[in-house]
Structure formats: C-alpha cells, structure tokens
Amino acid sequence: MTPDETKRLAELLADVPGLMKGVDFKDIRRLVELMRESPDIATIEIKGLFGTGAVISRSVMPLGLAPMPLMSPQAVMAPSGATAAAAPPAAAPASTLKEIKSPMVGTFYAAPEPGAEAYVRPGSRVTAGQTVCIVEAMKIMNEIEAEFAGVVREVLAEDATPVEFGQVLFRIDPNG
C-alpha cells in the first residue's frame, strides 16, 4: 500500500460514524506497517461503536505463504501389516455437509479455557449463533459461531494450533 493509499484509507475510515474516535492517520499507518512486517497477518479488523467496523485486508498473499491444507491420514496400517482404509468419520456424505471456516488467521481453541470441556465435539448438536470455538488473533479471543443448526460430524482443527483464513474448522450435517 502506498503512502497516498494509506492516507486515503485513513480519510475514508474517519468518515465512518462511531468508528474512528481516537484513531488517526498515524495509527492506520502503524497497522499497515505491521501488515508489511508480518506476512502472516492477512486481515486487520477494527470495530467501533454501534457495530460499525472496517477490515483492512492483504490483497495478495506473499509468495510461498499460501495456506497449508491440514494433513489427514488416508489409510492406517492394520496389525498384520496390510493397509486398511480409515473409517469414515461422517455419517452423511461430504457433499451434504456444511462447513464452518475460520474468518481469520489465528490460533484455534476448542474450549473457552485450558482444561475446560470443548464447545463442541463430533456428534454435538449446534444451533445458529452458538459458539463452536475461539480463534485468537493479535491477542484478541474471537468467538466463532455456527451460522446454521445441525450436528457436528467433523472437527478439522486441533486445539491450540494455527489456522488460516478460510480454513475449514468444522463440517456440520444440517439434516442431522
């Protein structure tokens, strides 16, 4: 982002009602510099009063930093040494399952605090608006909510591990 683009962004954000009280051009410049210095930061979200907000996103992911897919075992070794197919974790075909994806880069937490019971597990029934996990980004704990009701069929992220923007965290069976 050029200095002129940064200044124009700051001017646009200053016009959002209830958003930028106390935030000035220097603050916006620092946020943009932070994004330049930290290639792992793809999005910065600023929340203001009355639900207003703005999102500053990296338009192009730097080379070599494409999101890494989660590795899942395709087969397991049977005690006899033969290869056996892994048991499918989902009761419904994958095409009928809906996905809950990470809205940001951060650290996935399955429970509200260390040692606590996970928000959801495979087989748990969820309702729209129910918290299913936390993604910590820039020392802020962001509760991630289900956008629809259903039964959790797969949890695809491990507790206290990094997640990427758009990474699938859960697969939900809306018909379950």
Instruction: Write the CATH number for 136.
Output: 2.40.50.100
Neighbour count for residue 138 (Cβ, 10 Å): 13
**Are both 96 and 51 inside the same structural domain?**
no
Task: Tell whether 82 is covered by a domain.
Answer: no
Decide: 107 and 161 in contact? Cβ < 8 Å: yes
Task: Tell whether 46 is covered by a domain.
Answer: yes
Per-residue pLDDT of the chain (176 residues; tens, 9 = 90+): 677 877 777 777 666 655 545 555 677 777 777 777 777 777 777 665 555 556 666 655 444 444 444 444 444 444 444 444 444 444 545 568 999 999 999 999 999 999 999 999 999 999 999 999 999 998 899 999 999 999 999 999 999 999 999 999 999 999 87
Q: Would you state the structure tokens that stand for residue 16, as one six-digit string?
A: 């959002």
**Are both 98 and 165 inside the same structural domain?**
yes
Looking at the structure of the chain, the number of domains it has is 2
* Residue span of the structural domain in which 50 resides: 3-57
Neighbour count for residue 119 (Cβ, 10 Å): 22
Task: Tell whether 166 is covered by a domain.
Answer: yes
Neighbour count for residue 38 (Cβ, 10 Å): 11
Task: Tell whether 133 is covered by a domain.
Answer: yes
Q: What is the pTM of this model?
A: 0.49
Measured between alpha carbons, how far is residue 111 from residues 97, 114, 125, 153, 161 in Å? 23, 7, 16, 18, 13
Decide: 75 and 82 in contact? Cβ < 8 Å: no
